[in-house]
Amino acid sequence: MTAFAASQPVRAMPVKVMGVLNVTPDSFSDGGRFAAPEAALAQARRLIAEGADILDVGGESTRPGAEPVDAAAEIDRVVPLIRAIRAESAVPISVDTMKPAVARAAAAAGATIWNDVTALRQAPDSLAVAAELGCEVVLMHMQGEPGTMQAEPRYDDVVGEVAAFLAARAEAAMAAGVARDRIWLDPGVGFGKHRTRHNLPLLAGLDRIVALGFPVLLGVSRKSFIGALDDGAEADRRLGGSIAGALAGAAAGVAAVRVHDVRETVQALRVWRAIAQAGSLG
């Protein structure tokens, strides 16, 4: 299969860009940069101006070794920002949290998407709260727990196992009352996966996740597998690799990419799509 084949118009659907807005002191690539409220709002405005279709606001890092945050502190980080963005923009806002109480507070402040890296498994009432809120949900695959997930990830068939997990979580969400058209799936690049041995086959097999029939969100931006493929390049030197990953996702039919560098990704996707469309015409 040619990943960037221009002769596949079905693969050239517009891909939404979700801009990452971490209001944390310790996120892996931008920790501390937007912890102050004015800096966070300025970054939100910038991401919107650069073409973000969705803003993903997070108040707790999921990196291995990150400090756990209690719900009240996480709410204090994300809710004022969500309110401030909502006061001046209609951009859809997602909240990146594992906690139902945070999702609930964020929804009351104007967030319409709950992005949960545990696929609504963290708390006993996660599924019920998602159904009650009526929000969209992102169900992400992760092997293990954030603190230890990178210790010794193991798979016999990484694509098959991730797809089966996501299909099961979508079923669980629907059984709990989440509407089918509210569900997104995310393969969870970097979450309990060996940098290259697992993440690369997963990216190569994304079409099997897309084939499950739900919109797929893909987060590769600045992740460590890029550094592993480029002499250990640090997180702030991974833009090229991040864009390569986004385009691989676009070619496989993902619906959205979660990125730190919005402007550059929007440009790359526009060019990729224009080429794909020209190919299908000619």
Q: Is 258 a catalytic residue?
A: yes
Contact between 261 and ligand HH2 by CB under 6 A: the answer reads no
Residue among 180, 258, 263, 273 flagged as catalytic: 258
Contact between 57 and ligand HH2 by CB under 6 A: the answer reads no
d(CA 235, CA 224): 7
Contact between 96 and ligand HH2 by CB under 6 A: the answer reads yes
* Burial classification of residue 40, based on how many CB atoms lie within 10 Å of its CB (0-12 exposed, 13-18 middle, 19 or more buried): buried
Q: How far is the CB of 56 from ligand HH2 (least distance, A)?
A: 7
Report H helices in the chain: 37-49, 71-88, 100-109, 126-133, 158-175, 199-204, 206-210, 224-228, 239-252, 262-281
Of residues 144 through 183, those in contact with ligand HH2 by CB under 6 A are: none
Contact between 97 and ligand HH2 by CB under 6 A: the answer reads no
For residues 52 and 217, which CB has a smaller minimum distance to ligand HH2 in the complex? 217
Ranked by CB distance to ligand HH2, the top (closest) residue is 219
Contact between 192 and ligand HH2 by CB under 6 A: the answer reads no
Contact between 20 and ligand HH2 by CB under 6 A: the answer reads yes
Q: How far is the CB of 280 from ligand HH2 (least distance, A)?
A: 30
For residues 5 and 39, which CB has a smaller minimum distance to ligand HH2 in the complex? 39
Q: DSSP string covering 160-225, please? A: HHHHHHHHHHHHHHHHTT--GGGEEEE--TTSSS-TTTTHHHHHHTHHHHHTTSS-BEE--TT-HH
Whether 211 contacts 185, CB under 8 Å: no
Contact between 258 and ligand HH2 by CB under 6 A: the answer reads yes
Q: Site residues (CB under 6 A) for ligand HH2?
A: 20, 22, 24, 27-29, 58, 61-63, 96, 115, 117, 138, 140, 186, 188-189, 217, 219, 258
Catalytic (active-site) positions: 223, 258
